[in-house]
Structure 1
Amino acid sequence: MTVSSTASNATLAALAHEGGSIGGIILSAIGRYPDRVAFIDGDRSITYTELGRLVGKAMAAFSSLGLQRGDGVMQLSGNRVEVFVVMAAAYLLGLRSVTLHAMGGYDDHVYIVNDADPSVFISEQAHQQRAVALRAGCPGVPRWFAHGSCEGFADFWELADTMEPAPLVSHAASTDIIRLAYTGGTTGKPKGVMLANRSVWMQAVLLMAARGLRPGTRVLCPTPISHGAGAMIVPTLALGGTFVLQRGFDPDRFIDAVKEHRIGSVFLVPTMIYKLLDHPRCATADFSSLELLSYGASPMTPARIREAISRIGPVLAQSYGQTECPSNILHLTPEDHCRADVDTLASAGMPYPGVTVALLDANDQPIEPDEVGELCVRSPLVMDGYWKQPEQTAEALRNGWLHTGDMARRDSHGYYYLVDRRKDMVISGGFNVYPKEIEDVIAQHPSVAAVAVIGVPDERWGEAVKAIVVIRPDVRVGPEELREFVRHAKGAVCTPKTVDFVEALPLTPLGKPDKKALRERYWGSLARSIH
């Protein structure tokens, strides 16, 4: 056998091992459930057949604009079915789908648009002013549209409606970068995470495998489908379910929708769950249809998890991931939440199937049992790298591991406990202090609604531990009581030197406590270093 024929056989063998695609899952759902309702969007109900027709029209419109595999399509919009339609069309054509978070800042938006090089930008009337400003600040984008009527912008769907739907065929290879997902930018400029077809497909498959969604389930989504919540759409469609869209989270509208649509599954971020639990209607609301309440994006304190289980039922499931390995690294099932023999509520869970996790030291060597190390990942999920950032890509993927930047420990049962972000660790008086452990303690106090812990500059300690606390309505608690609460649980080193009370914590656009904003209040113009 010649060398060339050996190479040819190897190539053919590799082709035989090619997996599916995210577009393939979408097409199978459209073909399998033609008359079922795929989406409820306000007063609109869209069947699977109608969804397929919309996707075909979007594909035809993009082709008429001259877009080719590898070109970018960017959107700035709230939750609406057209956002997913455009994403699905991009996945099938091998285009790069990029979505801006509607609550993001102008400077970040300008940076992302100019960095991502989209060929088409689609917004909506609700974001008309931002879209106008971006068009002025991003002259390299050749085509600007809107979903529906929007002053100053052509209606993308007027163009699409002039087209015969393109054949619903997937043109994307497994290696095509079909999603460019930008990190939140809480530590500098946002980075574009390159997610291949392989990664997006694997994400959907793992969610189907691990979430236990019932066939035909109805999923309520008030969180942005442009970001993490959008990952639940394809698994829902694959099971013949219905995805119910809301534009933003409001406890009253949420409670009403759960009852009206007999919702089986929801995805919320912890701050939304806290608002729901604190709402007067929560105690009497009908949550009997709920089979799964998934939460993620940031940790939820054990005290409030117990409260949610008590009020809503044993239906909570946690997912820990990051943009670079989207959604699926560790997870806690509803059964995990109810274990009495292990303290699982402080845990991020066990690895998803198909995900290998290791705790490594600074030299990328395995740590000793019971020690804290950086959580590192291997999986087909893992990103291909950072867009236009080869050095940062090499650092994040060094030695064949995705380095998450999260510090964690593993217990004897196999559960992983996130100690904190490596960058969030406070070094106080020479001791390593992990804010999350302190936050979990303070959050158990019955007077506390929310808490964030940071390090602040201190002449004696280098960094001093500070707790910023939101108190529940109509209660009183003093700083010394909370300090003693921590001292009893964690000892003197972890006890906050000071406690500040605030009306609310600043949040990132994704609903996470914005520790960058909190640090700026205390560090000001100082360099982020011990002084």
Structure 2
Amino acid sequence: MTRLHAPEGPQYEAIDFGHAFYEVKERDPAKLAVIDEAHEWTWAQFGDLATRIAGRLNRMGVGRGDRIAVLAENSAPYLALYAGILCAGACVVPLPFSAQPETLKIMFADCGATVLFTSDRYADVAETLGAGEVIRLEGIDAWAEGAPLPEPVRVKPDDFFDLIYSSGTTGTPKGIIHDHRFRSRQLVRMPRFGLDENAVSILSTPLYSNTTLVSALPVIARGGTLVSMAKFDVEQFLNLSQKHHVTHGMLVPVQYMRIMKHPDFDKYDLTSWRVKLSTSAPLPGPLIADVLERWPGDLFEVYGMTEGGLTTVLDARANPTKLDTVGKVAEGCEARIIDEDGHELPAGSYGEIVGRGGPMMQGYLNADEKTQESRWVSPEGWDFIRTGDMGRFDEDGFLHLLDRRKDMIISGGFNIYAADLEKVLRAHPDVADVAVIAIPSEDWGETPLGLVVPQTAGVDADAIRTWANAQLGKTQRLSAIELRDDLPRSEIGKILKKELRAPYWEKTKA
């Protein structure tokens, strides 16, 4: 298969997750390891179950090279299963329960899993995926009872660690291969944010998302505490933060928006919080400022891809004049800007962002052509991953994001970046949420349309358009504003622009 090659570097000392887990589970057995709606497990309990799961899997013949799929919401048993699969030397395939059943069938057939674990909530769907064996998480303790307690399987850096599927909202889902080298390097990097044995980190996004795993796995590997939410709810999030003295969390922008708007936010004791991380989409500057003012602890915005390659980090408190950026390139990474023909552009130019770094996927499973499309080779012969995002670096080295390449609006021959228009609209006091999309235009080919979720009832859409257009360039102006009750989002908070565009473009095909 086509493979992408990550750069080597002395800062990426390998960490074997299984052996790290076996070490920390014995270190402080009475300490809480995992908390969810039904469980509060100590490290003795959590470590014992994960080890017995590994033993049962090994006894079934599961080991290096095998893949185990899971279709379930977040829970303590799911976390124990994740650790157990890795200790058995196998690869975890966390299936996205947000995908349609037909898409899940494609993913399951593609991944080649030998066993499927599921929760009661998704058991009916799981039974239709064609697995040879389906096992319920709710009975996993009894299932693993009496299993041997083996030593962790010694893995190689190229062995598959996990296989993360896209949700299928933008076409055929792709299985992103993370090997042990990829995850090992994240396990080294993330404790720089305090995600270590002293962390009490809350998981409020699904375990099938790399967003969640980036913050969860280092805490497990170092013996910290995880507070797991089956589904995000603002009031529950605030209650859990206060009750369990949460210190860390990786959230997405829409979660920050909803948390900060909660009428009782300021009544909760959140003084235990040390670090908040944000990813999946840029945080609006005014929202960052509000979080820094009212929510204790530091805030870091992290930009990257599930495929790996490039990571940038914005230390928001330390850079108050750069809140409209996603920060600087992280240590061990490199970024460049290229044009549509793949030629490198000079500093300060707008173009597609490509990156390389320690954590880089091997490629897409069973999809050499897609892997090749994701690859940009530098004049030096180095592999970079194409992000598909448009942006530029300013004179201080901070990255300014614009749009996905495919979301750029071309109107009358001019390139229009929706992010620029959205930034202006968010500044209007009547706008709670916004997305700008391209719709067909007889005169211009495409034209920008603003979809606005208003703060209150009775908002005048035309007045918002007039206000925004007065601040935009002549070629950027919005053709109209439409008011919406909400905007469709993925499980990790990304606005589904393809879904928003579809009704307008389908009319042109009629």
TM-score normalised by structure 1 residue count: 0.88
**Is residue 302–residue 326 contact of structure 2 (8 Å, CA) maintained in 1?**
yes
Q: Measure the CA separation in 2 of the matches of 1:505 and 1:128.
A: 29
Q: Where does residue 87 of structure 1 map in the other structure?
A: 82
> CA 1:506–1:162 in 2, change beyond 3 Å: closer, same or farther?
same
Q: Which SS does the other structure have where 1:133 is aligned? A: coil
Show the 5 A alignment for 1:373-384.
373-384=351-362
Shift of the alpha carbon at 1:381?
A: 0.5
Show the 5 A alignment for 1:134-213.
134=129, 138=130, 141-148=131-138, 155-167=139-151, 169-209=152-192, 211-213=193-195
Q: Where does residue 445 of structure 1 map in the other structure?
A: 428
**Is residue 276–residue 297 contact of structure 2 (8 Å, CA) maintained in 1?**
no
**Is residue 447–residue 471 contact of structure 1 (8 Å, CA) maintained in 2?**
yes
Shift of the alpha carbon at 1:215?
A: 4.9
Show the 5 A alignment for 1:285-434.
285-313=268-296, 315-325=298-308, 329-336=311-318, 339-340=319-320, 342=321, 344-399=322-377, 400-434=383-417
Select the residue among 122, 125, 138 that pairs with 2:120: 125
Q: Where does residue 6 of structure 1 map in the other structure?
A: none
Select the residue among 60, 63, 68 that pairs with 1:73: 68
> CA 1:439–1:127 in 2, change beyond 3 Å: closer, same or farther?
same
Q: Measure the CA separation in 1 of the matches of 2:313 and 2:434.
A: 23
Unaligned runs of 5+ in 1: 1-13, 149-154
Shift of the alpha carbon at 1:18?
A: 7.4
Taking every aligned residue pair, what percent have the same amino acid on both sides? Answer: 27
Q: Measure the CA separation in 2 of the matches of 1:203 and 1:308.
A: 26
Select the residue among 518, 521, 528 that pairs with 2:500: 518
Q: Measure the CA separation in 2 of the matches of 1:56 and 1:266.
A: 26
Select the residue among 252, 255, 261 that pairs with 1:269: 252
Q: Measure the CA separation in 1 of the matches of 2:194 and 2:51.
A: 30
Q: Which SS does the other structure have where 2:313 is aligned? A: strand
**Is residue 195–residue 215 contact of structure 2 (8 Å, CA) maintained in 1?**
no
**Is residue 72–residue 122 contact of structure 2 (8 Å, CA) maintained in 1?**
yes
Q: For residues 368-421 of structure 1, what are the alpha-carbon distances to aligned partners after superposition, in whole Å with 9 as ceiling and x for unaligned?
A: 222112111111201000000111111212311111111110011111011111
Letter in 2 for 1:479: A
Q: Where does residue 5 of structure 2 map in the other structure?
A: none
Select the residue among 203, 218, 225 that pairs with 2:207: 225
Shift of the alpha carbon at 1:432?
A: 0.3
Q: Measure the CA separation in 1 of the matches of 2:196 and 2:24.
A: 15
Across the aligned residues of Structure 1 and Structure 2, the Cα RMSD in angstroms comes to 2.2
**Is residue 302–residue 440 contact of structure 1 (8 Å, CA) maintained in 2?**
no
Q: Measure the CA separation in 1 of the matches of 2:463 and 2:323.
A: 24
> CA 1:398–1:371 in 2, change beyond 3 Å: closer, same or farther?
closer
**Is residue 25–residue 234 contact of structure 1 (8 Å, CA) maintained in 2?**
no
Shift of the alpha carbon at 1:112?
A: 0.7
Letter in 1 for 2:324: A
Shift of the alpha carbon at 1:207?
A: 1.3
Query: How many equivalent residue pairs?
Result: 494
Shift of the alpha carbon at 1:43?
A: 4.4
Off by >6 Å, runs of 4+ in structure 1? none
Q: Measure the CA separation in 2 of the matches of 1:383 and 1:504.
A: 34
Shift of the alpha carbon at 1:485?
A: 3.4
Q: Where does residue 487 of structure 2 map in the other structure?
A: 505
Q: Measure the CA separation in 1 of the matches of 2:369 and 2:286.
A: 41
> CA 1:416–1:410 in 2, change beyond 3 Å: closer, same or farther?
same
Structure 1 residues 510-519 or 313-322, which shifts more?
313-322
Q: Which SS does the other structure have where 1:318 is aligned? A: strand
